[in-house]
Amino acid sequence: MSALDSGPLPEPSLEEEIRLAVPDETTLQRILEAWSPQSVDRSYRDCYLDHPAFGLLKQRLAVRLRSLSGARRIEIKGGGVQRAGVWQRPEWSQEWPEAWSRIPEELPPGPVRRCLLAHLPADQPLIELFTCEVTRRSAPITLDDGGSVMLCIDQGEIRAGEKRVRIREVELEWLSGSRDLWQAWMRALRERYGLVPAAASKFAVGLAMLPLPEAWRHGFEY
């Protein structure tokens, strides 16, 4: 372990978003069509990882490797909380250009490497738990006070072995401005399309597809 891996862990960023479940394919298409002119479509693949003995999950940590447009980003997310419909969770992230089979031993210096080495020996490889294959339509939203929200419309599926679960959801990530205006914008969207709060995060849905003790899933409902 180098000097770059020692010392206190860097402070995580706090992810804040509202997730809404889309009830059916017809509603999904209506939402996609409404936001088509000002949006960007991208496909990404998320691979969720852990030690073979689930050492990270037991410590309420999730590791995600996201592949998007040829680039990879590795993230560690802590267990989330939900307050008044808003999902919050801490996260550390950094770019990672190589295959995940060499994480964490050959991960470049950065916040994710520091966090992993604080919880696992460097020579313990990570294994794939499940994946998410998603097409995302993103559109920036400007609130009345000049604040910013990112609207993300996701469709795809979660894959764990032979199991498949369909994804249809809308995420509203707060970036700046009034949180009250953000939530008011969300309520208007819900009423317009008949959306409901998502019951669980993609990670929680993926964990439910695995033969794991229920206690290990605690803290990842969000």
- Mean pLDDT per block of 10 residues along the chain (222 residues) reads 59 90 96 86 94 86 88 86 80 77 71 80 82 96 95 97 96 95 95 93 92 74 54
Q: Angle of helix 25-34 relative to helix 179-193, nearest 10 degrees?
A: 130
Distance CA 54, CA 202 (A): 18
Q: Any bridge partners for residue 170, and if so which? A: 20, 153
Distance CA 93, CA 63 (A): 10
Q: Any bridge partners for residue 191, and if so which? A: none
Q: CA nearest 140: which of 131, 148, 130, 129?
A: 148
Predicted local distance difference test score (pLDDT) of residue 118: 80
Predicted local distance difference test score (pLDDT) of residue 7: 59
CATH number of the domain at 15-217, please? 2.40.320.10
Predicted local distance difference test score (pLDDT) of residue 5: 57
Strands (E), the chain: 13-21, 40-50, 61-68, 71-78, 81-83, 86-95, 127-142, 148-160, 163-176, 196-197
Contact 197, 172 (CB under 8 A): no
Tell me, what amino acid is at 15?
Answer: E
Predicted local distance difference test score (pLDDT) of residue 34: 92
Tell me, what amino acid is at 87?
Answer: W
